[in-house]
Amino acid sequence: MDTLSHALLGAAIGQLTLGRKVGNKAVLAGAAAALLPDIDVPIGMLLGDAAALTFHRGITHSLVFVLLAGCLLGTLLGRGRDGIHGREWSLLFCAVLLGHLVIDTFTSYGIQLLLPFSDRSFAIASISVIDPVYTLPLLLTVLVFPWLQRGRMRHALALAGVVLSSAYLALTLYNKQLVTAQFRAALAGEGIVGERLFVKPTMFNNLLWRGIAESGDGYFVGFYSLLDKSPPADFVYVARNGSLLDEHNQAPLVRDLLKVSDNYFQVEERNGELYFHDLRYGKAFEWLRDERPNVFTYRLVMDTGRMVDLETISLEVDRERDRSTFRALVSRARGQL
């Protein structure tokens, strides 16, 4: 999830755990600690694109990290003069860090909860990484905290914010079940045999969803809004071009790319260079069917025919076009084709 949502959830959990005893100190500690797992982003930037590929949402998003970091932070704050034992601060920090992991699991990127014992990635993919409807209840309640004294009202507001946002998370699971059933029925109706199907909501909402079905040497991509009057249609075929990687399949970086993308990918050759597209995300505003860059693209760096590195290609945003496409996104999510 986005930074704001993490901080707000952490602040609310801080209030629920120790807010009655230490007031705003617990709120601020929760908000700050909630950002700690995302320290993997600046660290990954220092390590380089190749290392950052697998480091992001890796060990800092594991249950082991929650336990160790939570207990360490709790021990450090337990030495203060506020009369709160270290185990109480540890409970706060472990709860906040666990909350960070939970809502990240609901997004589509995936986190490696069981590191270092297993590198399996967990991704429910039922909510966008930025969803204002999830964030709003937390924002409205946390903003009121500074104006209230410690007591039942602050506690009740924090509880309300967490309950409402969590209820919305549960709703996204229900929505995903409905949308997945629609995609499966639509694919079968068009005679498309999908070996795998990956379904995720588009950015900023939980109404418009994208489905990508693996079939043979490529994928069929379609979109469906919960407000559409008809099932998904007009699937677009995307060739995998996996043969372009045949010479590099044993390269560790290629294996990392395949793992991170969950084998939903396309390889493209431009001017003698290979580009790897993570098709779980596809192109920006892909449903508009105009020329857009892929959200996640990596250039494979070669040396004497061997893959030795990769470069992340940044997504360039056309601000003027982005404003118009956002308005189009609202219309499409409302079922207006």
Please indicate, yes or no, whether residues 40 and 83 belong to a single structural domain of this protein: yes
Q: Is residue 213 part of a domain?
A: yes
* Separation between Cα atoms, residue 78 and residue 25, nearest integer Å: 13
Whole-Å CA distances, 273 to 87, 234, 291, 324: 55, 31, 20, 33
Please indicate, yes or no, whether residues 149 and 35 belong to a single structural domain of this protein: yes
The dihedrals phi and psi of 297, each to the nearest 5 degrees, come to: -135, 140
Please indicate, yes or no, whether residues 136 and 189 belong to a single structural domain of this protein: no
From 144, 172, 200, give the residue that closes a domain: 172
Token pair listed for 51: 């290392």
Please indicate, yes or no, whether residues 212 and 289 belong to a single structural domain of this protein: yes
Please indicate, yes or no, whether residues 130 and 278 belong to a single structural domain of this protein: no
Please indicate, yes or no, whether residues 186 and 38 belong to a single structural domain of this protein: no
Q: Is residue 326 part of a domain?
A: no
In sequence order, what are the beta bridge partners of 201?
Answer: 209
Q: Is residue 325 part of a domain?
A: no
Count of other CB atoms within 10 angstroms of residue 271: 4
State the total domains in the chain. Answer: 2
Close Cβ partners of 96 (under 8 Å, ≥ 6 residues apart): 9, 10, 13, 14, 30, 33, 34, 70
* Separation between Cα atoms, residue 277 and residue 299, nearest integer Å: 9
Q: Is residue 13 part of a domain?
A: yes
Q: Is residue 337 part of a domain?
A: no
Please indicate, yes or no, whether residues 276 and 310 belong to a single structural domain of this protein: yes
For 283, which DSSP code? B
Q: Which domain holds residue 157?
A: 3-172
Q: Is residue 39 part of a domain?
A: yes
From 123, 157, 172, give the residue that closes a domain: 172
* Separation between Cα atoms, residue 27 and residue 12, nearest integer Å: 7
Token pair listed for 282: 């596809």
Please indicate, yes or no, whether residues 247 and 125 belong to a single structural domain of this protein: no
Q: Considering the entire predicted model, what is its pTM?
A: 0.92
Cis amide leading into 252 (omega within 30): no
From 172, 188, 212, give the residue that closes a domain: 172
Q: Is residue 329 part of a domain?
A: no
The 3-state DSSP class for residue 198 equals: strand
Q: Is residue 93 part of a domain?
A: yes
Please indicate, yes or no, whether residues 22 and 155 belong to a single structural domain of this protein: yes
Please indicate, yes or no, whether residues 154 and 184 belong to a single structural domain of this protein: no
Render each residue's pLDDT in the chain as its tens digit; 337 residues: 999 999 999 999 999 999 989 989 999 999 999 999 999 989 888 888 888 888 888 999 999 999 999 999 999 887 666 678 889 999 999 999 999 999 999 999 889 999 999 999 999 999 999 999 999 999 999 999 888 887 789 999 999 999 999 999 999 999 999 999 999 999 999 999 888 999 999 989 999 999 999 998 999 999 999 999 998 988 999 999 999 998 888 888 899 999 999 999 999 999 989 999 999 998 877 777 777 788 899 999 887 777 778 888 877 655 555 677 788 888 888 886 6
Instruction: Order across the sheet with 208-215: list the strands.
Output: 196-201, 208-215, 218-225, 236-239
pLDDT of residue 16: 96
Please indicate, yes or no, whether residues 38 and 123 belong to a single structural domain of this protein: yes
Contact 208, 328 (CB under 8 A): no
Please indicate, yes or no, whether residues 268 and 286 belong to a single structural domain of this protein: yes
